[in-house]
Structure formats: structure tokens, C-alpha cells
Structure 1
Amino acid sequence: MEYVTERKLDVILLDFCGTLVDHQTADTFVKFCLDESPVRLTCYYALYFFQTLCGVLGIPEPVNFKHVYVRLLKNIEKEYIEQKARKFGFHITKNSSCKVTLENIRKINKKDTTLIIISAGYECYINYFSEHIDLDIDDVIASRLSYVENRCSGEIERDLIGKKKVDILAVKHRSVMDEATTTAAFSDSASDLPLLKVSDYKYVVSPGSVLENIARQKNWPVLRCR
């Protein structure tokens, strides 16, 4: 099912991980930054094994693994992380872009439509990704790594999950919340239901079972990225 509308879209809101690219990128970016540090990389794989084991056994994750992974970046220089972000952004553009999502965005995108990427992935590499795709991205709002004296603190300055995306949109792009503004949103995750609910047109991309069931009940288009 596709939306057919003559209404001009004012804004298109784009989740990133699992939507514009075919996987979750925040933790893989951490790994990408550790390729010259064998000890830290070993710790990464140990954490990954434990996280995978929790999933296989159906055990609730005892910690927020995203926040644990990022601690492996502690004391790494900001300049080095930015260099890796540039390479990672190019890498995922070339190898992991979700062509189905991009094609559907191009179908509904008009000359004056505002395109906003809003993601729990890290801003540093999403900025570079947005430079390499054939779309004019107007703003990138994403999670940020925290730095102290130009070294990573091992913390996340802001982690844009769930309703936090809507809250920051209300501050940075207040018109998105205006009833006169026509919006579309693309996401793969049930955690983005608050974002989808404030949008006039909803597209879900390779969703998990929870979001897919909701999409089918509400007759939202379901795209397959992988």
C-alpha cells in the first residue's frame, strides 16, 4: 500500500538506523573506532557476546549496552573520532544505504519540502552520511558523544530515544507540531511511535513484530529494507 496524495509535504522526518541504513549503527561505530586498539576491541566483543547471549536466552538486558559500549571510547581524542566518523559515514553510505527507503522518499519529496534526519545514532557520522546521499537534508538531529578537553568522556551528551525525538523537534522545529504543517515520517522501530503519531503520513521500514502489527492494523505502508 502507498499513500496517494496531492497535498504537498512540508516536512519529512527520517529515522536513521534500520531506516536509511539497514542496521543499527551506534554500537558498530564504536567498534569502527577501536580497530587500532586490540584491548578495547576485545572488550567490545566480550560485551557483544554477552548482549547476544541475553537475546538468545530471552533474558532482559541488565544494562543499557549502548551506554556501556560508548565507555570504550573514553579518552580517545575528538579529532580521531571525527576522522573515523567521516570514514564510517562514507562506508555506510556505500554499503548499507536502504535503497527502498530512499526511493520512496524521492517519490514524495518536493522542491520546498524540509528533510530532517532525527536519530539515536551519533550525529558525527550521520552528518557525513547526509552529504553523500542524493537528497538535500536540511537538518540532522541525533545523539551526541560527550567531550571534555577534546577527549571523549565515555558518555552520551544526549541520547535521542522515543519521545525525546518529539520533544527536541518541538524546540528546534516548532512548525512540525503545527496542524497546518503536513508531515511524513519513516521509521523501523516501535520506539518511534511518538514520532509517527505526530506525522500525517507514516512509513515503517523492515519493522519488528510490534510495529508491523500496528502498521497492518492502521494500514500504514510497510517497506522492506533487507
Structure 2
Amino acid sequence: MTLLRIDTSVRRQGSVSRELADVFADAWPEEEIVRRDLTACPDLHATWQDAVAAGFLPEEQRTPAMRAAKAAATELADEALAAREIAVAAPLYNFGAPATLKSWIDLLITDPRFDPRHTPQGQALAGVPVTLLIARGGGYRPGTPREGWDHATPYLRRIFGDLFGAEVTVIAAELTAVEFDPSMAALRPQAAASRAEARSTAATVAAQHAARRGRERVLVEPSGNRR
């Protein structure tokens, strides 16, 4: 019963998406958390390129870099498939998803188990809860001037929900840039409220999922026999 936690913020300190992931992960025993910090994997895009190239060649014609890339894709796919739940912490960068997260997804899809050409029903993560913990520097909610400018959340919903078949929950904190943008000083109360709401929701959702995990543990003994 493992939680796969994906971190993508380039900020190691003061990151709101990492903060939300911390709150969410508190519902899990430490030994059941697998953490993948994509900022520690700077070569993901190059690895994806090699993995794609490898797909067009027989094994004997692949370069060492291609073989290593395919092995990396297999490792990431195994990690995702072994997870009972996934939490993706992602800030909004230039109105889109972090490049490392996009490359991680692209690399996953080079594995046949995540490739929609091999899994036409898109069920690689069927039924797996995936919680998207989003941090947005500005305001993008309905009625704001930049409503619809968040291109990360719809993309991630489409990938995890429609393509991979996961059960997606989105939790977002907005106006996080008030911490370092003096021009947003007047929005500090709204930013604090949004952050507090996101933290509370993350804790609530995590607790609900923990309760569900507890029920599953009661129903299924280690031997696999149902009570």
C-alpha cells in the first residue's frame, strides 16, 4: 500500500506545492511513501528522446544510451504501477506544467504499459487515486482576468484521468506569488485564505483516502483471503 509522491518545484524551500504534498503525505506511514523529486532528474528530456529513438530500433541496434533510457522508463513505470495512490505536486510555470513533469509523463508513455497504442482503454492506472496538488502564482479561477490561462491542470487531468484511467482530485492554492511580488501586496489576505483552504482540503482528502485504505486492509488479509 504505497504512496508515490512526485515533486516538481524548483524551489526546495518555500514551495507551496511541496508544502501541500507534505500535508497530504502526513496521512501515510513514512515507510509506505516513495518520493520521486523530478528536479533531481535533470536529464529526463534527453532520456525521453533516447527512449523514443530506441522504440524504432531492434535491441541489437540500440546505443548504450538508448538501452539506459528504456531501463529508466521501465523503472518509472514499475514505480507508478506499484503505487496504491499517487500525489503530484506541481506549480504552474509560464501557464503550463513544469518541464520535468511533462518529460516524466512522456518517458512513462514510452513504456508499453502506458502507451495508448498498446493500452487502447487507457487503464494503466485504472481506479488509482491521483491527487494533483497545484500551486498557482496568480489568480485563475472563474471570473478572474486570467481565467482559462492555467494550461497545466486540464492537461494533467486529461493524462491521468482520461489516458491512464486514474481517479483524479485537484487541490489548488492560488496567488502564491504574493510572497515575492510587491505589486500583489493587496492580495495577501486572499492568498492566505487560498493557501489555508488548499492545506485543509489536502488534509481532508488524504484522511478520506486513508480511511478507505483502512477498510481495504480489513477486508483483505495478507493471505489474500476475504473476511
TM (norm. structure 2) is 0.30
Name the one with the larger strand percent: 1
TM (norm. structure 1) is 0.30
* Higher RCO (Cα < 8 Å, 6 or more apart): 1
Structure 1 or 2, whichever has the larger Rg, is 2
